[in-house]
Structure 1
Amino acid sequence: MPRITANTVAEHRANQERLLLDVAHAILEETGEIGSMRDVAERAGLARSSVYHYFESTEALLQALVEDIFPRWTIRITDAMDAEPEPSGRLVAYALENLRLVHEGAHAVGSALAALSPGEALNEQAAGMHRAIQEPLIHTLEVLGVEDSEAMGEMINAVVHASTRLLEAGKPFNQVSSTLIAVIEPMAVELQRRAAAKTS
């Protein structure tokens, strides 16, 4: 049993799990690979056997990473959208915040997780997290009275994904974000105009 370095066993376990998740996340961001349990243990300053007290396998560690990472992204996107008073502004905020996450390296982590996912359960879990990220977008489109909000959401995400590819190709963030706004904002404003016309 690992030496206890906190006031309680539960607190110690939580601290160690947090450390291992942060280390695994850092390795993913740096290399695009999850690394072995030995890699994670060495970076965390623990014996490899100690890691298995907290995560029984690489798959279990990956699953915990998905549970840890995706809610943070959802909160970032939702908070950015909630800060905008108008639905049109929320659509632009959704696109821009996704782009910022990519710029900060989040997309690389997400891609690595998707590529490395070894089990169906983990794939389903990641898909569920992705759906959670889409929910505020779909809700905003429904508020604007878009009949096929799912299809419109896919179109907006296609623009966002095209923008992320430009970032990954080395284009400057300011340039890509300006182009993204130039595409998304007029569409968002027009959707809001149509929604207002229907209620007037």
Structure 2
Amino acid sequence: MPRITAPTVAEHRAAQQRALLDAARTLLARTGEAPSMAEVAALAGLARPSAYQYYKSRQDLLHALVLDVFPRWTQRVREAMDAEPEPADRIMAYVLTNIALVAEGEHAVGNALAAVAPGEELNNQSAMMHRQLQTPLVETLTQLGAPDPQVTAELINAIVHSSTRLLESGAARETVEDRVRGLLGPYVRENRTTPVPESTP
């Protein structure tokens, strides 16, 4: 039995699985190709045979990565939105957090997963993520009294998609964020329930 490095066997197993998933994600983002179990194990600091104690095959590992990547994306966006007490500011948080995730490489990982591990599970997870992301945005727009929250949400998502393309074509994150703030800022300020006083020069 391998040496346990956590208080319990369950915690040890969870930590090793987390290390393998993080290693697989790093390698996938770096190369865009499915890494071998040996490569993943080496980056995670494990012997290759040990990796198979947690994932039966490379496909099994990729499947687990699909189930890990999309929920974590959704959680980051929801947490950023929930941190804003002002509903209008949640719209900006939604867009900027999505931009941050793209800049950090999460979108590249998702695209790479689609290329190396296509299938029903990936499609289902992707569709679920987009529904889960859309829900708090539509709810926020409804709370703000937007005349057609669903359509407005689609337009806001179009900004996210355009920002993604700009980032992936080499635009600087700061530049994209500045443009987004300039574009969405007036809408956010107009819909604040508690207007922020303009600063004086």
CA distance in 2, matches of 1:62, 1:128: 18
Q: Deviations over 1:61-117 (max 9, x none)?
A: 223223323333223222222232322211111111111111222221122123333
Q: Deviations over 1:159-195 (max 9, x none)?
A: 11111221222222222111111222223445x27x9
CA distance in 2, matches of 1:3, 1:83: 41
Match of 1:34, SS state, is coil
Match of 2:34, SS state, is coil
Contact between 2:28 and 2:34, CA under 8 Å: does it hold in 1? yes
CA distance in 2, matches of 1:55, 1:15: 13
1:139 aligned residue: 139
Q: Which amino acid aligns with 2:111?
A: S
List gaps (5 residues or longer) in structure 1.
none
CA distance in 2, matches of 1:13, 1:83: 32
1:111 aligned residue: 111
2:58 aligned residue: 58
1:44 and 2:44 equivalent?
A: yes
1:5 aligned residue: 4
CA distance in 2, matches of 1:94, 1:11: 33
CA distance in 2, matches of 1:187, 1:117: 40
Name the CA shift for 1:157/1:37 in 2 (closer, same or farther; >3 Å): same
Q: What is the alpha-carbon root mean square deviation over aligned residues?
A: 2.4
Contact between 2:70 and 2:125, CA under 8 Å: does it hold in 1? no
> How far apart are residue 24 of structure 1 and its match?
0.6
CA distance in 1, matches of 2:140, 2:14: 37
After superposition, residues 20-31 of structure 1 pair within 5 angstroms as: 20-31=20-31
Superposition TM-score, scaled by structure 2 size:
0.82
Name the CA shift for 1:123/1:49 in 2 (closer, same or farther; >3 Å): farther
2:164 aligned residue: 164
CA distance in 2, matches of 1:15, 1:80: 26
Q: Deviations over 1:122-144 (max 9, x none)?
A: 32123212322222212111212
CA distance in 2, matches of 1:140, 1:128: 19
> How far apart are residue 23 of structure 1 and its match?
0.8
Contact between 1:25 and 1:65, CA under 8 Å: does it hold in 2? yes
1:72 and 2:49 equivalent?
A: no
CA distance in 2, matches of 1:162, 1:37: 35
Identity, % of aligned positions? 53
CA distance in 2, matches of 1:97, 1:11: 30
Moved over 6 A (4+): none
Superposition TM-score, scaled by structure 1 size:
0.83
> How far apart are residue 21 of structure 1 and its match?
0.9
After superposition, residues 80-159 of structure 1 pair within 5 angstroms as: 80-159=80-159
CA distance in 1, matches of 2:53, 2:165: 39
Q: Which amino acid aligns with 1:24?
A: A
Name the CA shift for 1:169/1:180 in 2 (closer, same or farther; >3 Å): same
